[in-house]
Structure 1
Amino acid sequence: MSLYEKIINKEEKISLIGLGYVGMPIAVAFAKKVDVIGFDLNSDKIAQYKNGIDPTNEVGDKAIKQTTVEFTSDEKRLQEAKFHIVAVPTPVKADKTPDLSPVEGASIIIGRNLTKGSIVVYESTVYPGVTEDICIPILEKGSGLKCGVDFKVGYSPERINPGDNVHRLENITKIVSGMDKESLEEIAKVYELVVEAGVHRASSIKVAEAAKVVENSQRDINIAFMNELAMVFDKMNIDTQEVIEAMNTKWNALKFYPGLVGGHCIGVDPYYFIYEAEKLGYHSQIILSGRKINDGMGEFVADAIIKQLILANKIVKQAKVVILGITFKENCPDTRNSKVYDIIKYLNEYGIKPIIVDPQADPTDAKREYGVDLVPFDMINDADCIVFAVAHNEFKDMTIESIDGLFGEFPNEEKVIVDVKGILDKNELEKQEYSYWRL
């Protein structure tokens, strides 16, 4: 009997290592079909899951309460599983080189709890070669087992889009790969249990690893192009959003928009590709240039804020600036690698200490990662400038009257609104003579 058959007959279990924005939804999805152990080193997170709380908002508290996932921070429980899925983050270091310590740490834990006949599948984003050249030796050393003989390995890049209720695990085609034909088919069959859109069988693990970093690098480059246009159009006094609206009337327009590019995928993955390319003697031209443009957008927006304050006759150092949003994207509580902090940092250089409002973000996370204290909406008043940095639904639903209530008592032309995401009605705001700028 194959491992797949044992799993569907509930004779063997699947384990998820890393229960964040990616791992937890995968665990919950599989638990609807088979037995699942959900492991994470963070005991506080495990306690929340056991109490039916979803801190990621990816599946919701109700789904967490109803799931049969066995949440644990006890690594020995992994010995009960034969199919292991690794979904830990892979960030970059301060020098923009890959930080593989989370995936290496996960491999160490799995290695010392690995049993014969197991399959280990990595979902964490890495550059081509990491799974086979780095992870397999760690698994072998920790377990004393031989890869290809006692256990098999595969790679299936995560494609979950945090905060997206449309593109979910179930309806996104899943890339799968294995170290040989046998493992590839086993891995494909297991994922087909939950991925309704089907799977794409990559010819090798390296192809699957490369596909992940390339698909995010492609998006990064396209957004960088729009960001560069936005900077040029700002000098030309041309509204970028209006240009894009006109351009998108063509059937093959790509419909990318300028913006802040952070998070743990698009803002990170290109550096993994660049790193491996440089090790092989190739210095990236396009990808690295795109990253530099996108990494500089926080400073560009901060400069725009300063310019608008000056044009509105504000004393810059005394200006009360309120930033709406600190997460890396809309309708998601994840604050990791948020480029909004770049805006805050550059404003600090001008002596401005902005007030940060974000109903989606965890105040503890914001304080730990960026040293900022989140302030509730009802404490905002007398603002000189409101910056819409993230397109949360709470911000998109604001009326002009509610926005106006955040400002001080002065003429509209002295009320500065900076719309990074282009979510407000430009014509209506300009009609009422607000000082309005958008990216």
Structure 2
Amino acid sequence: MALSVTVIGLGYVGLPLAVALAKHFDTTGFDVDTRRIAELRDGHDRTDEIESERLSASTLSLTDQADECPPSDFYIVTVPTPIDAERKPDLSLVEAASRTVGDMLSGAIAAGKAPIVVYESTVYPGVTEELCGPILEQRSGAVCGRDFFLGYSPERINPGDREHTIERITKVVSGQTPEVLDKVADLYGAVTSGGTFRAASIKAAEAAKVIENAQRDINIAFMNEIAQIFGKMDLSVWDVLAAARTKWNFLPFTPGLVGGHCIGVDPYYLAHRAEELGHDPRVILSGRGINDSMAEFVAERLHKARGGKAGSALVLGLTFKEDVPDLRNSKVADLVAALDRLGHDVTVHDPLASASEAEHEYGLTLDADALDRRYDCVLLAVPHRVYRDMGSEALRTLLAEGGTLADLKGVLGEQADWTL
């Protein structure tokens, strides 16, 4: 009998996973966003992770009604885990998803299954077993470890990355018992050529995920700090890095704005748990502090480069990284706010981002006609391919006389008037 799988949450993580699983198993994708389900049924993925042809050809069943999900052998939770206004973990979506799955478990158990609930959402160690398990028990009336079981396999989706896809990466897997671990490993092993790594425990798998992004955050924080230091010396950080990279073991991180759904968020999960245990996570929070301050630093440096004179400014790109439509936790929005506080009249352009989402999340208006005017300053904040293909000469045509072509990430090289 073929295994059946239900994936809860069809965003950047859940949809690629569900489509991959549907090649091998009877797979249902569930999301509470009715519009999202309607779009996917029409073959449109607003995240641009799955092409229309591939989506339309998939055998994946889609629904926004929990009671339409069939009894399954596996339930995989892939909902977001953001932080709140105080930068504390917001587990409300994981808790809600757990309640939903808990309601589904009784039907699966009645159908003779011993379902396994696997979480992919990034959490601090202990959440799966100490928070989610009890919720599942309460909603289902079943016993965890007897009637149903837990697993954890951290997501490693990198939005816009066509090389490190779910079908190619190594998947870390874990299970409540050795037998459950075998089943989780077999499930993921069927969809990826990168193989699986069996973590020693669910907590070890949870911890591995959260330190992956914390490590990147800390390394980028060092780059941002040296950019701030060298800026005070009137020394190009890019020139320094070009020289330093000639050493064989120098790590090729670069300075910039750190946003998105992972690197700018996950370290706070680990820091929160550390503080609960009475440990002061100085390195983690110091790195976060540096990275969160970069938008203000960039705005002030650019303002100074303009002689302290405010003017019209065009910011190119609003998404958290190049060539993706993802606006979650975009630090470019903070940069726009900082320029505005310094008196600049800021226009924002981004052909990949959703105008309605930009307005809803940040109160920003995306100007589709922004490239038809001239500005005192043009800042290439997110180097989407459309901007890279334009080249520096075309970007200069957007400048008023005496204007400044600014390049946040150093992609224009010496063709830019200003960079970090």
**Which of the five TM-score ranges fits, normalised by the shorter chain?**
over 0.9
Q: Is the 8 A contact 2:399 2:405 kept in 1?
A: no
Query: What's 1:433 paired with?
Result: none
Q: Confirm whether residue 14 of structure 1 aligns to residue 5 of structure 2.
A: yes
Q: Is the 8 A contact 1:37 1:81 kept in 2?
A: no
Structure 2 gaps of 5+ residues are none
- CA positional deviation for 1:351: 2.8
How many Å separate the matches in 2 of 1:268 and 1:380? 36
> Which residue of 279, 284, 294 maps to 1:282?
279
Q: TM-score, normalised on structure 2?
A: 0.96
Q: Is the 8 A contact 2:392 2:412 kept in 1?
A: no
> Which residue of 177, 182, 185 maps to 1:180?
177
1:316-372 Cα shifts (integer Å, max 9, x gaps): 1xx110101111111111101001011011122123241111111111111110111
How many Å separate the matches in 1 of 2:255 and 2:228? 9
- CA positional deviation for 1:405: 1.9
1:120-174 Cα shifts (integer Å, max 9, x gaps): 0000000000000000000001111111110111000000101111111122111
Q: Confirm whether residue 94 of structure 1 aligns to residue 75 of structure 2.
A: no
- CA positional deviation for 1:247: 0.8
Query: What's 2:316 paired with?
Result: 324
> Which residue of 332, 335, 339 maps to 1:347?
339
Task: Rate the CA distance shift 1:79–1:137 in 2: closer, same or farther, 3 A.
Answer: farther
Q: Confirm whether residue 198 of structure 1 aligns to residue 195 of structure 2.
A: yes
Aligned length: 414
One-letter amino acid of the counterpart of residue 314, structure 2: V
Query: What's 1:402 paired with?
Result: 394
Q: Is the 8 A contact 2:347 2:370 kept in 1?
A: no
Q: Confirm whether residue 363 of structure 1 aligns to residue 355 of structure 2.
A: yes
Structure 1 gaps of 5+ residues are 1-5, 430-435
Query: What's 1:232 paired with?
Result: 229
Correspondence 1:213-252 to 2 at 5 A? 213-252=210-249
Query: What's 1:389 paired with?
Result: 381
- CA positional deviation for 1:94: 0.6
Query: What's 2:405 paired with?
Result: 417
- CA positional deviation for 1:377: 4.9
Q: Is the 8 A contact 1:170 1:197 kept in 2?
A: yes
- CA positional deviation for 1:78: 2.7
Q: Is the 8 A contact 1:325 1:356 kept in 2?
A: yes
Q: Is the 8 A contact 2:376 2:399 kept in 1?
A: yes
How many Å separate the matches in 1 of 2:345 and 2:335? 11
More displaced stretch, 82-91 vs 56-65: 56-65
1:382-433 Cα shifts (integer Å, max 9, x gaps): 211111111211111122331122122x1xxx2212211111031x44xxxx
> Which residue of 306, 328, 331 maps to 1:336?
328
How many Å separate the matches in 2 of 1:101 and 1:321? 39
Query: What's 2:18 paired with?
Result: 27
- CA positional deviation for 1:376: 1.8
Task: Rate the CA distance shift 1:151–1:286 in 2: closer, same or farther, 3 A.
Answer: same
Q: Confirm whether residue 66 of structure 1 aligns to residue 57 of structure 2.
A: yes
- CA positional deviation for 1:81: 2.0
How many Å separate the matches in 2 of 1:36 and 1:18? 13
Aligned partner of residue 80 in structure 1, secondary structure:
coil
- CA positional deviation for 1:194: 0.6
Q: Is the 8 A contact 1:32 1:68 kept in 2?
A: yes
1:224-277 Cα shifts (integer Å, max 9, x gaps): 000000001111111111111111111111100001111110000000000000
How many Å separate the matches in 1 of 2:306 and 2:51? 41
Query: What's 2:126 paired with?
Result: 129
Aligned partner of residue 56 in structure 1, secondary structure:
coil
How many Å separate the matches in 1 of 2:243 and 2:166? 34
Correspondence 1:136-151 to 2 at 5 A? 136-151=133-148
One-letter amino acid of the counterpart of residue 422, structure 1: G
- CA positional deviation for 1:290: 0.2
Q: TM-score, normalised on structure 1?
A: 0.92
- CA positional deviation for 1:379: 4.5
Query: What's 1:432 paired with?
Result: none
Aligned partner of residue 385 in structure 1, secondary structure:
strand
Query: What's 1:437 paired with?
Result: 418
How many Å separate the matches in 2 of 1:353 and 1:111? 51
Query: What's 1:155 paired with?
Result: 152
- CA positional deviation for 1:438: 1.1
1:289-319 Cα shifts (integer Å, max 9, x gaps): 00000000000011122112226xxx41xx1
Runs (4+) of structure 1 exceeding 3 A deviation are 377-380
How many Å separate the matches in 2 of 1:158 and 1:353? 40
One-letter amino acid of the counterpart of residue 342, structure 1: D
Aligned partner of residue 415 in structure 1, secondary structure:
strand
- CA positional deviation for 1:286: 0.6
Aligned partner of residue 104 in structure 2, secondary structure:
coil
Aligned partner of residue 301 in structure 2, secondary structure:
helix
